[in-house]
Amino acid sequence: MKRKFNIYCILLLAAITFGFCLNIYNHADELVLSFKDGRNAAKAQEGFEQGKTNMKQISYLNLKAKNDNRFLTAVKNDVTGQMDSIQVANVRIATSAGNDGQTLLSLIIEIFTVPLSLCCAIGFWVVFIKIILAVNKGKAFDKKTDFKIKLMGIFSLGAYISEWGLTCVEYLENSKMFKISGYDVCFSNYPSCYLLYLGIGMLILSQLLSIGRKMKEEQELTI
């Protein structure tokens, strides 16, 4: 039993590692682009300080067209040889900020979100390791294990909420810094719903284990 449990835990870690690597592979272009963005922003800041340019910083953000006001352009269809028209609804631009993006709301969200994110990430894996150790010591179905699983669910939900917080901070700051005619600033990305599913699933599992343990205790008292 313990051996199977350990094997399942190893498989879970392998699946998480595989998913993480696959996610990096699928978003490799975005990661490279992010590094280039940071390098270009640093160069702009350096040039501004040296008086070579009046652009203090370069920021990259995603925009969405207002009221279907989409930019028309054309691309060549290599199969037919014709030029086909396309409408660009979402664009990514490099621009200089007009003012400081930090607001009171974004500052408050960031102050609470960053520590929450770190605590949830560390807490989840600490509790997970404790559960593995408890099972190997023969303490798999006690109240502490139920609580630990519930705690993992809470940490997962906390991580999901913190991701939304960081996304909202970026959105609020970009919305204040940039006003682009015909376009609205949109979220650069959305938090993964898998954390939400995992958190709710952990809470359900914890409740099922708690109910099963109580039913077993009642049957033993009846006997």
pLDDT of residue 55: 55
pTM of the model as a whole = 0.68
How many Cα atoms sit within 13 Å of 169 on the Cβ side? 17
Binned at pLDDT 50, 70 and 90, residue 215 comes out as confident
Query: Rounded distance, CA 68 to CA 198, Å?
Result: 37
With CA atoms as reference, report the closest residue to 152 among 179, 184, 120: 120
User: What is the average per-residue pLDDT within 34-61?
Assistant: 63
For residue 155, name the pLDDT band (cuts at 50, 70, 90).
Answer: very high
DSSP tag of 140: S
Percentage of residues of the chain with pLDDT beyond 70: 67
In this prediction, residue 135 carries a pLDDT of 76
Question: 28-37, 121-130, 146-155 — which is least confidently predicted?
Answer: 28-37
pLDDT at residue number 161: 92
- Copy the structure tokens of residue 98: 């007009």
Neighbours of 199 (CB within 10 A): 22
- Write the DSSP assignment of 57-83 as a string of letters: --EEEEEEEGGG-PEEEEEE-TTT-PE
pLDDT tens digits along 196-209: 888 888 888 888 87
Please give the pLDDT value at position 206: 83
Structure confidence at residue 116 as a pLDDT band (50, 70, 90): very high
